Chains A and B, each alone.
Chain A
Amino acid sequence: MQYQSQAVAKPYFIAAIGLFVLQILFGLIMGLQYVVGDFLFPEIPFNVARMVHTNALIIWLLMGFMGAAYYLVPEESETELFSPRLALVTFWVFLAAAVLTVAGYLLVPYATLAELTGNHLLPTMGREFLEQPTITKIGIVVVALAFIFNVGMTVLKGRKTAINLVLLLGLVGLAVLFLFSFYNPTNLVLDKYYWWWVVHLWVEGVWELILGAILAFVLIKVTGVDREVIEKWLYIIIAMALISGIIGTGHHYFWIGVPEYWQWWGSIFSALEPLPFFMMTVFAFNMVNRRRRNHPNRAAVLWALGTAVMAFLGAGVWGFLHTLSPVNYYTHGTQITAAHGHMSFYGAYVMIVLTIISYAMPLLRGRKVAASNKSQVLEMWSFWLMTVAMVFITFFLTAAGILQVHMQRVMDKPLPFMYVQDQIALFYWLREGAGLVFLIGLIVYIASFFIGNNEPEAEVVPST
């Protein structure tokens, strides 16, 4: 750690991991409800578990991005953070808002929560991923503004690197696009049209800038490759991301009541969306192969390479699978979508946050370069457990999805939804099993922070 103020990243990372655990526990509850329909009913209905699962995911990823920014911006700018105190205040505000919101989901019926928080004054609730009470959404905007102000002022007073600028651009885009969550017309088509400006333009737009910037930062640190080279790659990757991803929004406009030309625009441009992810993979492996030194934090290198590969698989390959409109006609809103949603979110955004945590946390905890060998071995075990489990979750959901599409949408005599779900229950059981392995991986991950702390730092293995 080169600057004192980088330390504010630590609470963000810890809270992120805490919410990650919450997310996975509720994932497992839902996974069981898929096959044991009345499990925890009516105490925790499926929709409530789902809100906790997806909202905890989004909030902890945002916490991870913020922690990443507070860690890397001072280092890139070569100056202390503008205001570490503001960063800590926003942390507690954000965490409190998140905890209160989850408590609200779990303690009162959703309709009561809507009433208590005055949803009728500015109705924004009850849409997928945007279930938070309006007041929470306003809180998120305030936190985001304070955060961007803080990071922006730091960049302004210090060195301006491409990584800093791209990261900042991504964060500003994230905040600006979130404003569309306040637009909720009665006209369902318009509602859906602009809902995707938050959801799609986040994960296949501005978040890719954040992903690219964090990956570039870590690669510079662990490989020692020349910044000029890395930053050139970064620009090309994010250029491809936005060139394909903006019009690529059209892959959500096939069947929601907008003009049919979107089938062409959406199919063609979103078919190009795997390119930036592919380039990211080539980039990461290239940089590691051209490394000038071996970094003792082997776990961080593993996470960085893993991110590149899994993001390409989950977003690129599993995205392409259902992105052409003639295919999407059959797969829209099935388990195929869920399969893709899981691997892409995990591969791209969960893994990049775990990458920066892996790189930064040992330094934040007072190590000079890396954690002990023992901790790293555990961390690498958790990498494989979680990643392989996620691959299997994706496989099982894909199998379930193919069967679902066939029975419910393709066969001569299509079968009803509920009947089909019964027929494919086996794959949901298998998914739940893989989910348990994921949880074990997560426990090992957390253990890696507590085990091996009194052993010496890992040293560089001489390259062969």
Chain B
Amino acid sequence: MNEVFTKSMARNIFYGGSLFFILLFLGLTFDTTRQLPKLDNRQAITDKVALGKALWEENNCIGCHTLLGEGAYFAPELGNIYKRFGNNKAAIKGFIMSRPKDGIPGRRSMPQFNFTDEELDAIAEFLKYSSEINTAGWPPNIQG
């Protein structure tokens, strides 16, 4: 068997196989990109949503929360928070706004970010946009 299957055959499988699957992956990526406009809720992206995403990133919300199931597992999923809070942006803003500066004794705590009203509105808008992305029925229920 050793003589039949040589190192150079193994090498060729590596190069050929990798190249083939890289091309297939690029092809699937191309097709995905073509279909995305129907699925990714891009029509909802406004300047406000863009500001919301920037604030989301610059305050590292992902370091405690998941968003569409990706991130940290310390605090609730936020991809569907808009729905969990009854399609109510004010409730989201109210929650973020009302975090005590020194945390809640004994309970996992979220920082007080001191956002302006415009910033809070942008974050809520970003979370609303996220909740309307077509995620193939995930999460299984409203608890995220």
Contact = CB atoms under 8 A, between A and B. Distances in A.
Are A and B associated in one complex? yes
Interface residues of B, number: 75
Interface string A39-75: 0011001111011000000000000000000000000
B109 to A, nearest CB: 5
A127 interface: yes
A189 B129 CA distance: 11
A186 interface: yes
Contacts of A235: 7, 10-11, 13-14
A257 B134 contact: yes
B13 to A, nearest CB: 5
Nearest to A260: B136
Given A238-B14, A333-B71, A188 B6 contact: no
B74 interface: yes
A228 B7 contact: yes
A37 B104 contact: yes
Interface string A250-268: 1011111111101101000
A34 interface: yes
A415 interface: yes
Given A188-B53, A257-B135, A110 B36 contact: no
A138 interface: no
Contact of B106 (A38, A42, A187, A260): A38
Contacts of A246: 18, 21-22, 24-25
B90 interface: no
B131 to A, nearest CB: 11
Contacts of A111: 58-59, 113
Contact of B107 (A38, A239, A243): A38
Interface in B44-80: 45, 49-50, 53-54, 56-64, 66-77
A329 B59 contact: no
Interface residues of A, number: 78
Contact of A47 (B25, B64, B138, B143): B64
A202 to B, nearest CB: 15
Nearest to B143: A414
A409 B139 contact: yes
B104 A162 contact: no
A41 B103 contact: yes
Interface of A: 30, 33-34, 36-38, 41-42, 45-48, 50-51, 110-111, 114-115, 119-120, 123, 125-128, 131, 162, 184, 186-190, 192-193, 228-229, 231-232, 235-236, 238-239, 242-243, 246-247, 249-250, 252-260, 262-263, 265, 329-330, 332-335, 337-338, 408-410, 414-418, 421
Interface of B: 2, 5-7, 10-11, 13-14, 17-18, 21-22, 24-25, 28-29, 31-32, 35-36, 39-42, 45, 49-50, 53-54, 56-64, 66-77, 101-109, 111, 113, 129-130, 133-144
